[in-house]
């Protein structure tokens, strides 16, 4: 059997398919666009977007993302409710979920963590903190594959 080694140029590397898929569940267009701009700078990440909790659950089951970024405050179903349903489903229970919220009260953070969140970050985002949490979540997802 002949083995081939392929070396990619920097241009070809940037065109390589993404290694991880992230699903963001965010109903605010400006916040969703900000996350999109942050995520698309990394060639190893593909971003999907859901605009409410139920759509996020459906997309999580269908696409099996490596990580979910979940807004806390959404109409019809908040992030804790969506997280609880994701954790109860065998298809999505393993996916790390980072809750994003403008609510910085510690009791809300404790509720999110108790519901099974991987991390809780407050808005406005500190980009380095967000990226570090995403990397930690992806590392966790890779370890559980």
pLDDT of residue 7: 44
Averaged pLDDT of the chain? 89
pLDDT of residue 75: 87
With a cut of 50, say whether residue 110 has pLDDT above it.
Answer: yes
pLDDT of residue 5: 42
Higher-confidence position of 75 and 117: 117
Among 59-63, 71-75, 133-137, 140-144, the least confident range: 140-144
Say how far residue 110 (Cα) sits from the centre of its chain.
Answer: 19
Q: Are 41 and 13 in contact (CB under 8 A)?
A: no
Average pLDDT in the 68-93 region? 96
Q: How confident is the model at residue 121 (pLDDT cuts 50, 70, 90)?
A: very high
With a cut of 70, say whether residue 2 has pLDDT above it.
Answer: no
pLDDT of residue 125: 82
Ordered by where they begin, the domains of the chain are: 18-143 (3.40.50.2300)
Distance, in Å, from the CA atom of 69 to the CA atom of 99, rounded to the nearest integer, reads 6
With a cut of 50, say whether residue 8 has pLDDT above it.
Answer: no
Q: Are 52 and 73 in contact (CB under 8 A)?
A: no
Q: Are 83 and 112 in contact (CB under 8 A)?
A: yes
pLDDT of residue 10: 53
Distance, in Å, from the CA atom of 35 to the CA atom of 14, rounded to the nearest integer, reads 20
């Amino acid at each position: 059997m002949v083995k081939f080694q392929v070396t990619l140029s920097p241009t070809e590397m940037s065109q390589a398919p993404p290694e991880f898929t992230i699903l963001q569940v965010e109903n605010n267009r400006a916040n969703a666009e900000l996350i999109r701009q942050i995520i698309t700078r990394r060639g190893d990440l593909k971003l999907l977007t859901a605009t409410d909790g139920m759509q996020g659950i459906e997309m999580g089951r269908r696409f099996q993302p490596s990580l979910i970024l979940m807004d806390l405050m959404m109409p019809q179903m908040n992030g804790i409710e969506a997280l609880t349903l994701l954790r109860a489903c065998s298809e999505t229970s393993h996916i790390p979920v980072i809750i994003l919220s403008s609510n910085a009260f510690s009791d809300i953070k404790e509720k999110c963590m108790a519901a099974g969140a991987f991390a809780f970050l407050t808005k406005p985002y500190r980009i380095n903190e967000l990226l570090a949490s995403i990397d930690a979540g992806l590392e966790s997802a890779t370890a559980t594959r």
